[in-house]
Amino acid sequence: MPYGWDADREAEFAPCTAKGLLPGRVLRVDRGQCDVITPTGVVRADTEFVTPRDPMRVVCTGDWVAVDPDGDPRFVRSLLPRRTAIVRSTSSKRSEGQVLATNIDHIVICVSLAVELDLGRIERFLALAWESGAQPLVVLTKADLVPDVTGLSYLVQDVETTAPGVQVLPVSSTTGEGIEVLRAIVADGTSVLLGTSGAGKSTLANALLGEDVMDVRATRDVDGKGRHTTTTRNLLVLPGGGVLIDTPGLRGVGLWDAATGVNQVFSEIEDLAQQCRFHDCAHEAEPGCAVLAAIEDGALPERRLESYRKLVRENQRIVAKTDARLRAEIRRDWKLKGAEGRAAMQAKRGRLR
Ligand SMILES: Nc1nc2c(ncn2[C@@H]2O[C@H](COP(=O)(O)OP(=O)(O)OP(=O)(O)O)[C@@H](O)[C@H]2O)c(=O)[nH]1
Ligand SMILES: [Mg+2]
Ligand SMILES: [Zn+2]
């Protein structure tokens, strides 16, 4: 299957094979049902299974699942472990996590150049992306609307300073600029397009597909608060290899237990903090503070520090509101990075001994 099935999946699925179930990847979910691509074709199945009331266990686009081929009604019988998961907090007061997409390798954050850059929003998307375990990349869409090359390079630089460790690529679905570079990146593994409504995600999906599969409509208002053209998350196979998920525009990107992601977005501040005189420096007025010194000499924009503080505080509030047991469970299941980190630590300790 061109969907990313591999030997590890095969092993994970073995108990399900024994039960006569079919493996498949979820192409889309709507109204409690999902389309699952299996070796025998697309199967429609009910999503409710195991613990249907747990929002984190709800079947999501990108999931690998087991379906019963002959069931009536057919339903998803098992969910294979998620290697990565993009989780945001819902706007509800209870602050639950909502899984946007799973088993993703590249997160393509789409930012429209038709409107003024909102660096704070990019940082939010990046925190969410890093936390998922996948590699983010920022695509600046509609580059054809920035006529002046110098102007464009400044915009790219602005985003680059906001996104350490992240590739920033201007693209245009109209002129084709940057599309080949992006196609090469997404040819490997599963990629998801994330961004606000009207950012040009579906237009980009069509450009990468080489045909008009996703609906595109002119946006009525520029800030994305209007109607959404894409309403479900759709998994598509790219002709040049790779799997792409187009998603509906996100209005808000509330963080959900994303401390690691936040630290990664602001890695240059974390690096500077290592050089502060005091171990527990709050970078407020302490003597020998390397972060404040960097702001003083212009190396670090003050906006970055403020944004960092804001996201750290917001994340702490969310964490305080959510169920610790649930978070621990998710850590155990999905936080691959954590597991790898622990393995590296153990290896290090082994070496020291
Ligand atoms: N000039 C220009 N316009 C573009 C480009 N890409 C997309 N657009 C326009 O932007 C509008 C929105 O594009 P969509 O692809 O529907 O945006 P989307 O991000 O999928 O929006 P939602 O599905 O609502 O989340 C459409 O009018 C597109 O024609 C581009 O590269 N250049
Ligand atoms: Mg769309
Ligand atoms: Zn400091």
DSSP letter at 150 equals H
Q: Kindly state whether residues 191 and 136 are assigned to the same domain.
A: yes
Angle at alpha carbon of residue 187, lines to 186 and 191, rounded to 5°: 35
pLDDT confidence bin for 115, thresholds 50/70/90: very high
Ligand 1 contacts CB of residue 197 (under 6 A):
yes
If you ran DSSP here, which 8-state letter would residue 273 be given?
H
Q: DSSP label at 198?
A: T
Do 71 and 120 belong to one domain? no
314/272 same-domain check: yes
CA of 143 to the centre of ligand 1 (A): 12
226 in the same domain as 121 = yes
User: What span, in angstroms and rounded, lies between the C-alpha atoms of 155 and 249?
Assistant: 22
Tell which one of 169, 182, 203 to mutate to probe ligand 1, the residue whose CB is within 8 A of the most ligand atoms. Answer: 203
In a domain, 102, yes or no: yes
Which range, of 2-16, 193-207, 328-342, averages the lowest pLDDT? Answer: 328-342
**Residue 199: pLDDT above 90?**
yes
**Across the chain, which distance is largest between two alpha carbons, in Å?**
70
Task: Examine the fold and report which residue of 57, 81, 105 is the final residue of a domain before the chain moves on.
Answer: 81
What is the residue-wise DSSP string for 80-137?
PPPS-EEEEE-SSTT--EEEEEES-SEEEEEEETTS---HHHHHHHHHHHHHHTSEEE
- Domain final position from 223, 246, 269: 246
274 φ/ψ angles, rounded to the nearest 5 degrees: -60, -25
Segment 143-170 mean pLDDT: 95
Q: Where is the domain boundary, 191, 223, 246?
A: 246
How many angstroms from the chain centroid is the CA of residue 70?
Answer: 34
Q: In which domain, by residue range, is 295 found?
A: 259-352
Mean pLDDT is lowest, of 9-13, 87-91, 207-211, 257-261, for 87-91
Query: Which CATH number characterizes residue 285's domain?
Result: 1.10.40.50
* Angstrom distances, CA of residue 111 to CA of 117, 125, 126, 347: 8, 10, 12, 40
Q: How far apart, in whole angstroms, are the C-alpha atoms of residue 37 and residue 24? A: 5
In a domain, 252, yes or no: no
Contact 110, 200 (CB under 8 A): yes
Ligand 1 within 6 A of CB of 249: yes
How many whole angstroms separate alpha carbon 277 and alpha carbon 290? 8
What is the pLDDT, as a whole number, of residue 331?
59
332 or 48, higher pLDDT = 48
Q: Among 6-20, 89-103, 114-128, name the one with the lowest average pLDDT.
A: 89-103
| Residue 116 and residue 39 in one domain | no
pLDDT at 339 over 50: no
Is 215 in the same domain as 108?
Answer: yes
Same domain, 110 and 224: yes
Between vectors from CA 223 to CA 219 and to CA 225, what angle results, nearest 5°? 75
> What is residue 252's predicted lDDT score, i.e. its pLDDT?
78
> What are the pLDDT digits (tens) for 27-38?
999 988 999 999
Q: What is the pLDDT of residue 70?
A: 83
pLDDT value for 353: 30
Nearest protein CA to atom 4 of ligand 1, as residue: 142
pLDDT tens for residues 209-264? 998 888 887 755 554 455 678 888 899 999 999 999 999 998 878 888 888 999 99
Whether 111 shows a pLDDT value over 70: the answer reads yes
Between 91-100, 256-265, 311-320, the lowest mean confidence (pLDDT) is in 91-100
Q: How many domains does the chain have?
A: 3
- Report whether 117 contacts 155 (CB < 8 A): yes
Residue 278 lies in a domain: yes
Q: Give the H/E segment covering residue 24.
A: strand 22-30
pTM: predicted TM-score of the whole model, two decimal places: 0.89
| pLDDT tens by residue, 75-85 | 888 889 999 99
Residue 302 in any domain: the answer is: yes
Other beta carbons within 10 angstroms of residue 200's beta carbon come to 25
Residues 77, 93 share a domain: no
**Residue 253 resides in a domain:** no
| Together in a domain, 131 and 240 | yes
- Verify whether ligand 1 is closer than 6 Å to residue 264 (CB atom): no
76 CB-side CA count, 13 A:
29
Q: How far is the CA of 160 from the centre of ligand 3 (A)?
A: 23
The CATH number linked to 76 is 2.40.50.140
Could you tell me the two tokens for 49? 């299974």
Ligand 1 close to Cβ of residue 348 (< 6 A): no
The answer on 276 and 178 residing in a single domain is no
1 in a structural domain:
no
Give the pLDDT confidence score for residue 85 in this predicted structure.
Answer: 94
Among 94, 103, 104, smallest CA distance to 55 is for: 94
The Cα 96–Cα 98 span in angstroms is 6
Same domain (yes/no): 75, 137 = no
Q: pLDDT at position 332, please?
A: 57
Is 183 part of any domain?
A: yes
* Mean pLDDT for the chain overall: 87
Is 251 part of a structural domain of the chain?
no
Question: Are 50 and 96 in the same domain?
Answer: no
The CATH number for 196's domain is 3.40.50.300
